[in-house]
Structure 1
């Protein structure tokens, strides 16, 4: 596989991690899903609906690696230096840097200021940067390294806990000492986008097909969703469209296949790039008007600006996160945007994901007081069974590494995304049917009875202790 294709495949993997979660308007929980609220940004004493975990205090003691009387050192970062995709996941590092500043302005955590070591894994260097973090950081927080699988053995070996922004590799997603604000486990899949499409389009189950790819990474995600479709009674039409990962000389033959097949709805696990745009433009020129139910990486300004012609007006995206367009209704989204924009950072969906993971870590660390140890923070993280990042996204279950059972859907209209379901802006729909178990053949790893990957597991990893 050419290196210049890897960045796009990484983005495809990220799409799956973002896409499907969904949760109903009637649920709020202690951390809360904001469905409405002030048009003013929340004060520093809160983040959306979440009381700020940051503030002054008298915590003391060098209680663990990276912890001193007056400071807590954490690692964070992204792949922004990847030459083939400059700025890859830059929004994640920008978000954590902004949150560290926000927290320190309030006094840090129990009076200890946060020091952040920012890493650029540049896609191919994740093992190297994690080995660096192993030597000095208390936790890794809010990071997103697309090649985290290659770093996982080092993280586990040095017993470096993480509250990741996202995980990609199966062993990283199911690893010990790992928590995420928005879990994407290998054994459970949120299909909220598909379930909402089923509600919106009565013939969705009979008239849907999957756009396939020659990419192994994309195909793995596709096989999971195909299995989920079959569980919900939808049998893909198998029109025979398989896109070459290196691009196509012409996309018109694919338009003819879709037309002959009669597919009215198309689903894809691939990511937006010039080839994908050409495909949709070709469908438009051929007079096809399918509705697209695509992954959440298609929710981006890149896609919105491309769609000036309207070729993508049939694009529907199921999301666990509040759209950025809902900032006037959701205080947490507005606050995230303001904090990052104040530092001239990049605002995007993965940035909100990193923000939520930072808040999850900070809340757990705050509860440990002076006795700030990795063990204590892990104990606190394991207790968090419902989490929304103050309203940035639908409720998830970080403590048990389980996804949300909620979703909302946005639709692209020219250069703007708008929430179309539920109709009330800022709300989600939830249901147990929004999460399905996946085929173990698709997991890519072996799990023990605690749903932990066994590949790098050692007897001395830090496990939650019951209080």
Structure 2
């Protein structure tokens, strides 16, 4: 929707011209009069000077001297005539002098005024041009008609291992589409959403790529753990028969084939070197700002246990870089055991024993909210001094169910790379999301898939602005996404670089559970993220071989 801006026009202002004061005019007139008299007298005197040539003066016949009356009359007439001529001459000269003087002063005054009143830039706003007006919309590619753009959202939902696991991703994309359509649509068309359940299954994930190839313009909000083969995704033909692939705006990419797909753009950045064969050394960047803050503000000497999610080789490989980065900061790792979603609370007792033996003061889980709840519950059950330990979790603990655990999770730290849901007054994109999702505490997956939608939307809008609504094709979208070097979901998230897979999002914010609520602790000001360059550590190792179990 177009926004109407206020038009500011700044005109040049001229101050009133300065006038001559009455006394100055009178003095000026008298000066002119005196100069005129002096000129006449000098002319008359000059005509009566003695001749110095030495020649004799001619004889002049004598005349009778006029009587006094005639002298008086002649004097009066001469005086009157001279007065008239002098007045006329003086008036003309005074007018000329005054006009010239006033013009000079006025020019000087105007120059000063113009110098003082330099025109300010005119604050104007170019009128917005409706790209949809007077355009015959066309079906420019697969998934685009003259009035619709179809996107596919694929997520792991229907598996009996984790029913409804990523339903939030589907909800987020649908909420985004409804919001965009309510604002007038995208590329002069309405957005339609089709769904596919990848069911934590590699075959169903591949099937989802094939459906998108044939029926959708792009994938938005992809949240599938087993994208083991992306051949069909990357080689799908467009409407012209070019095997360019389907644009895939994913939330998470856990497997190397998905992380390194040339058509995939994940808002949760892989921060890893590509291409990658799946084994051997790999350059990876890790976010460490949250633990750096602990070292500087809470405890300068940390030692403890890091739980590594070990259900999949990909989760191990994606977790180990952060663990090793903690060690780069000087944190001593007392143990790095693997943990599964099926690990029972009593089995956490073994981790508690490691902490007791090492006198640990730090406990970090790379798993989910239930992992931290079980860990802390077992620690209390075994009488561990939980208040002497700094407990920390990642985004997966930012859930309502985590708070429902009550006092057992008090003082746990959680870090995010986006503004929390309760800061709607500080970011419009966040506010729009919270209204559209219609959930007081949506799952993080919903926020991620909404961000995917905004990324797709921004790329498409850029194409329309440059070439019009009929310039939107799969190739144009791929080119536009690959050129983005900083995308921050309109200030809601840490900025991300889509020109490479290696750069991690550098920003974070830290919360702590206090009195059964998530409370911001750093940065203290709402609406802000910490984006210090020291938040990132880069390492190159064979990450699969790093895990000791």
Which residue in the other structure is 1:357 paired with?
452
Give the greater-gyration-radius structure (CA): 2
User: What's the CA shift for 1:96?
Assistant: 0.9
1:366 pairs with one of 461, 464, 467 = 461
Which residue in the other structure is 1:162 paired with?
248
Which residue in the other structure is 1:305 paired with?
404
1:283 pairs with one of 367, 373, 379 = 379
Which residue in the other structure is 1:296 paired with?
395
Deviation per CA, 1:160-210: give whole Å up to 9, x if none. 121112222122112111213342232322223222222332324x42332
Q: Give me the whole-angstrom Cα distance separating, in 1, the residues matched to 2:311 and 2:199.
A: 21
Alpha-carbon spacing, 1:242–1:116, altered in 2? closer, same or farther (3 Å): closer
Residues 1:101 and 2:178 are matched in the alignment = yes
Q: Give me the whole-angstrom Cα distance separating, in 1, the residues matched to 2:477 and 2:309.
A: 42
Which residue in the other structure is 1:61 paired with?
138
Tell me, what secondary structure is at the counterpart of 2:403? helix
Q: Give me the whole-angstrom Cα distance separating, in 2, the residues matched to 1:45 and 1:166.
A: 34
- Residues 34-183 of structure 1 correspond to what in structure 2 (within 5 A)? 58=135, 60-124=137-201, 125-150=204-229, 152-158=230-236, 159-183=245-269
Alpha-carbon spacing, 1:44–1:145, altered in 2? closer, same or farther (3 Å): farther
User: What's the CA shift for 1:245?
Assistant: 5.8
Alpha-carbon spacing, 1:276–1:93, altered in 2? closer, same or farther (3 Å): same
Greater helix fraction, Structure 1 or Structure 2: 2
Which residue in the other structure is 1:418 paired with?
519
Deviation per CA, 1:116-150: give whole Å up to 9, x if none. 22222222221112111111211111221122234
Q: Give me the whole-angstrom Cα distance separating, in 1, the residues matched to 2:300 and 2:356.
A: 17
Q: Give me the whole-angstrom Cα distance separating, in 1, the residues matched to 2:393 and 2:530.
A: 18
Tell me, what secondary structure is at the counterpart of 2:178? helix
Which residue in the other structure is 1:430 paired with?
531
CA contact (8 A) 1:95 1:340 kept: yes
Unaligned runs of 5+ in 2: 5-129, 237-244, 273-283
Q: Give me the whole-angstrom Cα distance separating, in 2, the residues matched to 1:59 and 1:258.
A: 68
Normalised by the length of structure 2, the TM-score is 0.65
Q: Higher relative CO (CA 8 A, sep ≥ 6), structure 1 or 2?
A: 1
Tell me, what secondary structure is at the counterpart of 1:400? coil
CA contact (8 A) 1:259 1:288 kept: no
CA contact (8 A) 1:56 1:107 kept: no
Q: Give me the whole-angstrom Cα distance separating, in 1, the residues matched to 2:531 and 2:493.
A: 12
CA contact (8 A) 1:56 1:108 kept: no
Deviation per CA, 1:205-264: give whole Å up to 9, x if none. x423323566454533442222212222323133x7655664344544533431231111
Q: Give me the whole-angstrom Cα distance separating, in 1, the residues matched to 2:143 and 2:312.
A: 39
User: What's the CA shift for 1:296?
Assistant: 1.2
Q: Which moved further from structure 2: 327-336 or 70-79?
A: 327-336
Unaligned runs of 5+ in 1: 1-42, 47-53, 445-467
Q: Give me the whole-angstrom Cα distance separating, in 2, the residues matched to 1:351 and 1:228.
A: 29
